């Protein structure tokens, strides 16, 4: 006979999707045995084709490859925007950056002279999990506001170690050096970027040659310190964003040149993090997600590769926004390739679901709880991806089809091209977006136009944070 207690347990298990599958007898957290740890390892400007398991022929990434073989390699995983600041705002809040004021067509990211940042009314992954007793750390590049009221400590992070904006900012042009010279033959003091611990600047300019190593050491220290309580670690590498620097151990190690060296150091770092989890017996209670904030910066060999995808950073073709994404949780995730559509905005609701955290329902979330997909227990809730450039929708993907209403070269002064009918590609058949099939599919186009119309009704103008000076 099913007693009431048993029924209640079943219902609880259903409500917290995934929680039923993560009862962990060896969890070191005695008070919250069901709360898993979460780690997001972010790369900056790494493309879809830049690691071995996603097809790069000359960059060696044994740790990421192993992570993918033991975990899940997602092939239709997107970011919220094709540039650093809006992408990170989407990841942290589970909301499209247009809703938080963190996107702009005029200033596409925050700069050292910016006065804006992620508003304090926004709920981040860190602030949501902190409420549930998690320790939280942000290590690496933040880029959601460098003024005190916007720093990680104002957004739910107990600890911060890293640079507040991009590693190519605060350029020192003394001696008349031009930008290309500064980027292609970089020296530490060409970039007066601060390295911070919590709210203090501890080094300026940050020594970028050792920065990946130091992020890794800080991350491992945080893991060791928190092995007995649930934690969320956001490790946002500031590379392979140019200027490219790597530590001595990685100089001239890759056939791909300095860019390959940089990726191989990030790969080493991933290996160190996973080893630290194993050493602490945390590997079967920790979900690790590896991805990048946007596609490769296509300007010369110092930028990466989007593989078979078209375009790169800054643009709304696939190469700008579809990223490698590896999910790792030994014993919990069935290893394999997952072709379900997902985005970084799905991580907030998914983590909250796994940690039994209820999000307030006073705002629109653009992320979905994808734990059904991760655990192979049900259909994927996401069928639509919006491709925003600044505050405008340039393209929409629904199922296999993607319609481009507007296109524009990734960077530079070239104007927008408006398409009516929109360009239409079947991304399952044609992931490189080569063959416009709009003429054959007027019905699909009408449906996607309707999706756009309904979506725009949900977008309410807010104060723009990127244009505040
Ligand atoms: Mg970036």
296 CA distance to ligand 1 middle (Å):
8
* Catalytic, out of 143, 155, 302, 404: 143
Residue 56, Cβ density class (10 Å: 0-12 exposed, 13-18 middle, ≥19 buried)? buried
Q: CB-hemisphere CA count at 13 Å for 181?
A: 8
Length of the chain: 469
Residues, beta carbon < 5 Å, ion ligand 1 = 44-45, 84, 293-294
Report how far ligand 1's centroid is from the alpha carbon of 294 (Å).
5
The upper half-sphere exposure of residue 441, i.e. CA atoms within 13 Å in the direction of its Cβ, equals 18
Q: Where are the beta strands (DSSP E) in 79-203?
A: 135-140, 159-162, 195-197, 200-203
Q: Whole-angstrom distance between the N-terminal and C-terminal Cα of the chain?
A: 67
Contact 276, 287 (CB under 8 A): no
* Cα 340 to ligand 1 centroid, rounded to whole Å: 24
For each of the chain's 469 residues, which pLDDT tens digit applies? Answer: 333 333 333 333 333 333 333 333 333 344 445 799 999 999 999 999 999 999 999 999 999 999 999 999 999 999 999 999 999 999 999 999 999 999 999 999 999 999 999 999 999 999 999 999 999 999 999 999 999 999 999 999 999 999 999 999 999 877 778 888 899 999 999 999 999 999 999 999 999 999 999 999 999 999 999 999 999 999 999 999 999 999 999 999 999 999 999 999 999 999 999 999 999 999 999 999 999 999 999 989 999 999 999 999 999 999 999 999 999 999 999 999 999 999 999 999 999 999 999 999 999 999 999 999 999 998 999 999 999 999 999 999 999 999 999 999 999 888 999 999 999 999 999 999 999 999 999 999 999 999 999 999 999 999 999 999 9
HEC string of 196-225 equals EECCEEEECCCCCCCHHHHHHHHHHHHHHH
d(CA 178, CA 174): 10
pTM of the model: 0.93
Give 81 Cα–ligand 1 centroid separation in angstroms: 10
Strands, DSSP E only, in 269-348?
Answer: 286-292, 322-328, 336-343
Active site residue 241: no
Whole-angstrom CA distances from 436 to 42, 341, 421, 423 are 33, 21, 11, 6
Q: What spacing in Å lies between the alpha carbon of 32 and ligand 1's midpoint? A: 35
- Do 274 and 287 touch, CB atoms closer than 8 A? no
Helix (H) or strand (E) run with residue 396 in it: strand 392-398
CA distances from 78 to 7, 27, 397, 419 (A): 38, 32, 11, 23
Whether 143 is catalytic:
yes
Structure tokens at 323: 């990223």
Catalytic residue among 84, 138, 302, 404: 84
Question: Cα–Cα distance between 123 and 118 in angstroms, integer?
Answer: 10
């Amino acid at each position: 006979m099913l007693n009431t207690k048993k029924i209640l347990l079943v219902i609880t298990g259903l409500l917290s999707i995934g929680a039923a599958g993560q009862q962990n007898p060896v969890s070191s957290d005695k008070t919250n045995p069901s709360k898993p740890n979460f780690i997001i390892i972010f790369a900056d400007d790494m493309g879809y084709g830049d690691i071995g398991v996603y097809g790069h022929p000359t960059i060696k990434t044994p740790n990421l490859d192993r992570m993918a073989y033991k975990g899940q390699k997602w092939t239709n995983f997107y970011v919220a925007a094709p540039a650093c600041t809006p992408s990170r705002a989407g990841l942290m809040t589970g909301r499209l950056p247009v809703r938080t004021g963190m996107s702009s067509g005029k200033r596409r990211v925050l700069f050292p002279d910016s006065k804006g940042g992620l508003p304090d009314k926004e709920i981040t992954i860190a602030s949501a999990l902190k409420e549930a007793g998690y320790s939280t750390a942000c290590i690496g590049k933040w880029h959601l506001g460098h003024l005190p009221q916007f720093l990680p400590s104002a957004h739910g992070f107990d600890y911060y170690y890293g640079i507040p904006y991009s590693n190519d900012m605060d350029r020192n042009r003394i001696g008349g050096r031009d930008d290309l010279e500064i980027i292609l033959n970089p020296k530490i003091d060409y970039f007066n970027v601060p390295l911070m611990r919590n709210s203090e600047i501890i080094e300026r300019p940050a020594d970028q040659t050792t920065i990946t190593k130091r992020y890794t050491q800080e991350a491992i220290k945080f893991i060791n310190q928190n092995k007995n309580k649930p934690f969320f670690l956001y490790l946002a590498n500031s590379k392979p964003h140019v200027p490219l620097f790597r530590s001595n151990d990685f100089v001239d190690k890759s056939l791909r040149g300095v860019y390959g060296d940089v990726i191989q150091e990030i790969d080493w770092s991933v290996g160190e993090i996973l080893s630290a989890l194993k050493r602490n017996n945390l590997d079967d209670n920790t979900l690790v997600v590896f991805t990048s904030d946007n596609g490769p910066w296509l300007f010369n060999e110092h930028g990466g590769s989007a593989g078979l995808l078209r375009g790169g950073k800054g643009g709304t073709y696939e190469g700008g926004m579809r990223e490698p994404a590896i999910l790792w949780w030994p014993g919990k995730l069935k290893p394999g390739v997952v072709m379900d559509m997902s985005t970084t905005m799905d991580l907030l609701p998914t983590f909250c679901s796994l940690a039994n955290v209820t999000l307030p329902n006073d705002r629109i979330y653009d992320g979905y709880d994808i734990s059904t997909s991760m655990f192979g227990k049900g259909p994927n809730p996401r069928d639509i991806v919006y491709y925003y450039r600044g505050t405008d929708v340039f393209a929409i993907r629904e199922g296999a089809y993607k319609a481009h209403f507007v296109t524009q070269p990734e960077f530079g002064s070239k104007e927008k091209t408006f398409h009516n009918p929109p360009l239409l590609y079947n991304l399952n058949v044609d992931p490189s977006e080569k063959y416009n099939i709009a003429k054959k599919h007027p019905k699909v186009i009408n449906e996607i136009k309707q999706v756009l119309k309904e979506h725009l009704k949900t977008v309410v103008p807010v104060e723009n944070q990127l244009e505040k000076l």
